[in-house]
Homo-oligomer: A and B are copies of this chain.
Amino acid sequence: MKLTINRNYLNDAIQQVSKAVSSRPAMPILGGIKIDVTHQVIVLTASDTDISIQSFIPIEQDQMIVATIHEPGNIILPAKVFVEMIKKLPADQVSIEVEDHFRTTIRSGSTEIQMVGFDPEEFPLLPAIDQNEIIQIPGDLLKTMIRQTIFSASTSEQTPVLTGVLWNLKDNVLKFVSTDRHRLASRTAAITAPDQYQFNHIVIAAKTLSELSRLIPDQNTMIDIVVAENQVLFKVDNILFYTRILDGTYPDTSKIIPQTYETEMVIDTKSLLEAIDRAYLMSREEKTNIVRFMTIDEHTVEISSSSTELGKVTEQQKVQSYKGEPLKIAFNSKYMIDVLKVVDSEQIFIGFSGTMRPIIIKPLDHDYNTYIILPYRTVN
């Protein structure tokens, strides 16, 4: 294997795949990046077995020569050092040459690096995925769906399936649900999918979706998604992102949402966020993060929290509209902050069905999101 390549193209591809490099690899090769060079394309691959990322570098782009292939071939290079070194090389061009016994020489300007790589044949095979059924979604929409749901996934490995986000597709509507048993977030979106195509019970790890999100560019990119038996493949521009589907049975959350409310109100999102955030500052000193939420009159609610050591904070919050019974309830301020931070509406609807029933939060101007927070049982 021998080639000369534009350093920026190589560096971008390395940064993309490096997110799948194992930081503590079970086998040395999983701490490496595989490079496959043909006369048509250069492919970089990294995998920690949960996720695998491939980045494709064209030989030529926009009539500019990106790489010159002197001899096709492949190699695995240890990502440690390599990832940072390529970024810091002095010249615009980098040459990589593999000789006997995987000995590799990288040259750029007056810098020469010698490394010993690994046998590329030992790299794990990527899952074979049948590309018949492809769904398509704009990148910024997928990023929003991820941002509006991952925070509610569990961080405890005790119930691994709850560390993921549940995906369902039916009638061209994609739905994400996440819950850690104390709260729930859901988001739906109309997308492009083949006729009659549907799936349910696909669960993808929240931290994987967070990594995927970082790979999606801000400008509008169409993303192809293929769901296979135990893998999901995402195609983002020149990148293929493979992830494992989490095992386990995701709980049925469809019956949690009440159909009627005892008390309902509309509140300005930003000012409620700021008020709860101040209450949180005091409540977190007690570790529980509990705030109390109480109706005062039909225009006002009071939000308060206290710390035995430090004192008490009390907030008067204006309500845009209010209907139903007077209310006194307590909940985790951090859970409410997490919701209010991702809501993209200026005003929110909050529905209560009693002090021990789920609190429902929805944006006022659309129906795509539903958030649920379970209240705390408190003494007073």
Residues in A lying within 8 Å of B, measured CB to CB? 78, 80-81, 84-85, 88-90, 110-116, 271, 274-275, 277-278, 281-282, 285, 307, 310-317
Contact = CB atoms under 8 A, between A and B. Distances in A.
A88 B310 contact: no
B80 A315 contact: no
Given A111-B275, A317-B110, A281 B311 contact: no
Contact of A285 (B81, B110, B313): B81
B313 A281 contact: no
B111 A315 contact: yes
A259 B27 CA distance: 54
Contacts of A112: 313-315
Nearest to A88: B278
A23 to B, nearest CB: 15
A314 B109 CA distance: 11
Contacts of A317: 110
A278 B111 contact: yes
Q: Which of A116, A275, A281 has the most CB of B within 10 A?
A: A281
B277 A307 contact: no
Given A81-B307, A88-B278, A112-B314, 20 more contacts: A78-B310, A80-B285, A80-B310, A81-B310, A81-B311, A88-B274, A88-B277, A88-B281, A111-B278, A111-B314, A111-B316, A112-B313, A112-B315, A113-B313, A113-B314, A114-B313, A114-B314, A115-B311, A116-B310, A116-B311
A85 B89 CA distance: 46
A281 B84 contact: yes
Nearest to A107: B314
A30 to B, nearest CB: 16
B275 A114 contact: no
A172 to B, nearest CB: 43
Given A110-B315, A110-B316, A115 B310 contact: yes
Contacts of A277: 88
Contacts of A311: 81, 113-116
A132 to B, nearest CB: 43
14 contacts: A81-B307, A81-B311, A85-B281, A88-B274, A88-B277, A88-B281, A110-B315, A110-B317, A111-B278, A111-B313, A111-B314, A111-B315, A112-B313, A114-B311
Nearest to A304: B112
Given A277-B88, A310-B115, A81 B315 contact: no
Contacts of A315: 110-112
Nearest to A115: B311
A113 B285 CA distance: 14
Q: Which 9 A-B pairs have the closest CB atoms?
A: A115-B311, A110-B316, A114-B312, A112-B314, A113-B313, A114-B311, A81-B310, A84-B281, A111-B315
Contacts of A271: 90
A308 to B, nearest CB: 10
B282 A81 contact: yes
A85 B274 contact: no
A316 B317 CA distance: 67
Contacts of A110: 315-317
